[in-house]
Amino acid sequence: MSFEVSVLTRLSEIQTEEVMQLAFAAAAIDEMAPLSEHVLIHLHHGGDDADEHLVATSDSGKIIGYLHLDQTDAVAGSVVEVVVHPENRRQGVGRALVEAAIAKSDDPRMRLWAHGELTSAYSLAAKLGFAKTRELWQMRRSLFAPLPKANDATGITVRPFQVGIDEQSWLDLNATVFADHPEQGRMSAQDLAVRMSEQWFDPAGFLIATQEQTGSDVMVGYHWTKVHGGAGSHGHSEIGEIYVLGISPELRGTGLAKLLSIRGLEHLRSKGLPAAMLYVDADNKAAISLYESLGFAHWDTDVMFRKSSV
């Protein structure tokens, strides 16, 4: 089989839909979405000037492979995510896409995300000189099983996110909570607005914890839940997610994280969802311990590889 790799600054609507269908086909086989939310949002909203899209096209004109090249992070370096149609794997498509991205970016710090610990991803990374540098766990639990009892915290009020009121307070708290996180801590007002414009956004599932301090209510924690999957989405059935959980540093260890987690899981269960999932860095032992206490177990692992010459 022959194919051609092209580098595009923008995808047409038809090309975008073809890439999405390609991702759905891969998810159905791998039981794991091949592209991150970050890439899916860029596809949906057109990306930005630093985005580039590499597509592998067959002789018949069908897109059989796709690579997203993001060069927006001047500090950490460029990052790529790649997906190949299940019917066209082991034919050099993935390697050709990554090699084209390496040549295009000329970045010795390039990072490569692989969603799920697929043998093919490790093999491709090794052949191209990438080494594993980060693991992101996916954890899951059934929502049919009983949830732990939530103990209310004295002086804490839990309420839904108020659109048009809470945005800046949330951005400030999120930046503090995730000051050392490579992605979450850099969330901007535009990033937040984009996510709030997505079809899945539901302020009722975006729980805010406030505490009265010097006569006013101060945001001290949050649990942003998400429902994804189902028809026309990630290529799998609906599932709830602990999307982002953040606690003010001053209130860590008080039980607020567990309270917010349970309240969010109760919300997801009330929507009739069968299960919940989350992502957490494999070396974040405190967070993993919390989630295990809530009935979550390790499900799969996303792996980041980096050019090993660095």
pLDDT tens for residues 144-195? 999 999 888 888 999 999 999 999 999 999 999 998 876 776 789 999 999 9
Looking at the 3D structure of the chain, how many domains does it have? 2
Specify whether the CB–CB gap between 281 and 120 falls below 8 A.
no
Q: Is residue 293 part of a domain?
A: yes
Q: Point out the domain boundary residue: 75, 100, 128.
A: 128
Does residue 308 belong to any structural domain of this protein? no
- 146 lies in the same domain as 124: no
Angle CA(47)–CA(31)–CA(292) in degrees, nearest 5?
A: 95
Is 190 a member of any domain? Answer: yes
What's the half-sphere exposure (Cβ side, CA atoms, 13 Å) at 65?
Answer: 28
Q: What is the pLDDT of residue 40?
A: 85
pLDDT over 50 at 8, yes or no: yes
| pLDDT of 292 strictly over 80 | yes
> Is a pLDDT exceeding 80 seen at residue 229?
no
In a domain, 22, yes or no: yes
Does residue 90 contact residue 127 with C-beta atoms inside 8 Å? Answer: no
**Closest Cα partner for 33 from 124, 125, 126, 115?**
115
- CA–CA dist 66, 35 (Å, integer): 10
Q: Say if residue 26's pLDDT is above 50.
A: yes
Q: Place 65 in a pLDDT band, splitting at 50, 70 and 90.
A: very high
Shared domain check, 102 and 191: no
**Predicted local distance difference test score (pLDDT) of residue 232:** 46
**Cα dihedral sign, 232-235-239-244:** negative
What confidence category does residue 237 fall into, taking pLDDT thresholds of 50, 70 and 90?
A: confident
Exposure letters 281-303 (e unless 16+ CB within 10 A, then b):
eeeeeebbebbeebbbeebbbbb
Q: Is the pLDDT of residue 235 over 80?
A: no
Average pLDDT of span 35-40: 86
Same domain, residue pair 296 and 149: yes
Count Cβ atoms within 10 A of the Cβ of residue 2 and give its class: 0-12 exposed, 13-18 middle, 19 or more buried: exposed
Mean pLDDT of 199-208: 95
| pLDDT over threshold 50, residue 283 | yes
Q: Give the pairing type, strands 111-115 and 297-307.
A: antiparallel
Q: Is residue 168 part of a domain?
A: yes
pLDDT band at 220 (very low <50, low <70, confident <90, very high): very high
Q: Quick one: 63 and 85 in the same domain?
A: yes
Tokens of 23: 């991702």
Q: Give yes or no for a contact between 136 and 283, defined as CB atoms under 8 angstroms apart.
A: no
| CA angle in degrees (0–180, nearest 5) for 111-114-117 | 135
Please work out, in degrees rounded to the nearest 5, the angle formed at the alpha carbon of residue 171 by the alpha carbons of 266 and 150.
Answer: 20
pLDDT score of 108: 87
Give whole-number Cα distances, 18 to 13, 48, 85, 232, 296, in Å: 9, 20, 11, 13, 35
Domain shared by 28 and 159, yes or no? no
Residue 46: what pLDDT? Answer: 64
Residues 46 and 122 in one domain: yes
Quick one: what percent of the chain has pLDDT higher than 90?
Answer: 65
Percent of the chain with pLDDT over 70: 95
Pairing mode, if any, of strands 79-84 and 111-115? parallel
- What average pLDDT does this structure show over 289-296? 96
Would you say residue 15 lies in a domain?
yes
CATH number at residue 26: 3.40.630.30
Task: Kindly indicate the confidence band of residue 234, based on its pLDDT and cuts at 50, 70 and 90.
Answer: very low
Regarding whether 221 and 259 lie in a shared domain, the answer is yes
305 within some domain:
no
Task: Kindly report the pTM of this predicted structure.
Answer: 0.82
309 within domain boundaries: no
pLDDT at 58: 94
Q: Are residues 154 and 295 in the same domain?
A: yes
- Band of residue 42 on the pLDDT scale cut at 50, 70, 90: confident
Give the pLDDT of residue 87: 94
Which range, 73-82, 151-160, 256-265, has the best average confidence (pLDDT)? 256-265
Is pLDDT of 51 > 90? no
Do residue 86 and residue 192 come from a single domain? no
What are the pLDDT digits (tens) for 116-132? Answer: 777 788 888 989 989 99
Q: What is the pLDDT of residue 180?
A: 83
Reduce the DSSP state of residue 69 to 3 states and report it: strand
Residue 297 has pLDDT above 90, yes or no: yes
Q: What is the pLDDT of residue 47?
A: 61
Same domain? For 10 and 72 the reply is yes
Which domain does 15 fall in, by range? 3-128
Report d(CA 285, CA 306) in Å as an integer: 23
Residues 66 and 86 in one domain: yes
The rounded distance, in Å, linking the Cα atoms of 171 and 173 is 6
Looking at the fold, whether 118 and 40 belong to one and the same domain comes out as yes
The pLDDT of residue 285 is above 60: yes
